[in-house]
Structure 1
Amino acid sequence: MGACASSSRASSVPPSLEEKKTFKWMIDGFSSLLDKGDVWTYSSVFEIMGIKWYLKVNPKDKKNGEEYVSLRLELSNPSLKIDTVVNAYFKFLIYDQSYGKHSEHQVTHKFQTASSSSGTLCMIPLSTLKSSPGFIFNNSCVFGVEFIKVVAAKVKDTSETLFVQKINAFTEVKAFTWDIEDFFALKSPSYSPEFELGGHKWFLSIYPTGYDKNGNYLSLYLHMKTQNIPNQNSAELVDYCIGIKNQETGKHRKEAGRCQFSKNVDNWGFNKFMSLEDFKDSSNGYLVKTKCCIEAEVTIVGTSKMV
């Protein structure tokens, strides 16, 4: 019995159904383009992988006193929605028409449709192109772009709306005073008793040798008890002021801020509120024997909601 040899046939896709991945752009009369100088020339819009693009070339782009041939790939924005990001992996190509040794420059770029400049650049020294007869052949030059992978996705934005309250100039600013009887007995950190201002509960913290433990500064912070904040996406805009009283002259040392307090960030303050040298200098009146007085002023000036 004769042996029957198995056979297989490679499946083929009709040329009309093959997905285009490369755009080739021949410029005939390239010397005339060079004569026009530092000017961008645009290709026609082409579609590859479901997205419309165009190439730009500047034959005499300048950088640091040198001349370059610059290629730029850009999205044709009208082809996409404004909230789209296109991640593309591709190659810029400059064809060697004599020897087939093309110049390739691989690029990964995120194209933003909302950006006024959504492209990416490839720069080749003009001298390099002129030195090889294959790149400029019979006064023509061939550029291209080969796409390897393209993924379009909707932008996932986070937005916040901040509602700022109208502040009455005659509103009385309320404050809390924390009397520390023995500064040298403090641990790092130490916390004040809780107090209530503006409908929220707060407390202060002090790092007697600095938050970063470098021993040169006093660090002070204001903390909000966040149980009254409804969810992770809400916040309170707060004007706050933390001060250390001068117990002799009344000229207190103060630092102020306007920040949002939320469940995610429930404290703000000052890493380097005051140098320990100034704080401990008895002539300044901030530390009298072992006692110091810290004051906090708190005013709610707005709310925010993030979606």
Structure 2
Amino acid sequence: MGNSCVTGAPHALLEKTDDPASQWKIIGFSSLLEKGATTVTSDVFHYYGYEWVLEVTPKHKKSGLGSPYVAVSLLLLNTLEAGHVMNALFELSMYNHSNRTYCGFKASNNFHVKKWYSEKKCLIPLEELLKSSDFLVDDICVFGVKILKADISFARKKAAVVPKKVVVIPKKPITVQNLFLQKKEFIKGTYTWTMSNFVDLKLPVLSPAFEVGGYKWHIKMYPCGDQFSTKSLSLYLCMVEPSMLTLELGMMIELTLSILNWKNGKQWTRAGSFVFAGTTNGWGWPNFIPLRMLKDRFFGNIMGSNCIVKADIAIIGSSIDG
């Protein structure tokens, strides 16, 4: 069937791609579904002086597609200077165990400080994946990415982008990341942080250190948003001593950060799963909650001048088996 990866109609849009420059193997994929994971993010991989991660959405629902799909997207982390735009052409793919090829799509995106993520690309219907002997074998799914072309421009004005440079993409050995997901015996912990005089805070603040799973953590908040936010509060979970982890000893954290409502007990929550390893010390959300919503007294997140933040942490996997 030409360059199609498989002959079945559900996969007709998938095309054969080159072998990826970076592979992310998820062992125990079904546990993401059992835990209701919304997104799961890889550890950092490096291309040409920039830091990237893959994000997998196990149950992505897109208008017009009906049933949920397994989707992937590419994220450029905080290595692009403000005012610069990177136009990247790349392939997002998954491994076909039957014919030992990668299948997926070419995509492009303009990355900049305020938009550091690409559109989610639907690879395969979740229902088809679970029935498949092609893409899910022994509960293992392998995802890949290869950047084909990238150029960086400087945006002087909204309507004018001045070319700056072309990023040279040299050949490099394939990098492989493994993620072994646990099905039980998770290490869990919860921490609640109450801040006083919140309305007066302008600069970033750190919570006191707390321990979960033998590691010390703190919550980092940018009350007025960091450089990547759009009129929103930014909130992250950070390791106190990231040097304790290496890429080989990385661990998958299921993270839920919440801002509690004093008046009625409700909360504003964001959740995701992230790999913590030696290459990064923190994950979270630059646009955690819009400032207007946060400071609306009707919403009730701020009572007087206090603010309550809660972190729920579970270690659900690691880069090594066992």
- TM-score of the pair, normalised by structure 2: 0.44
- TM-score of the pair, normalised by structure 1: 0.46
The answer to which structure, 1 or 2, has the higher relative contact order (CA under 8 A, 6+ apart) is: 2
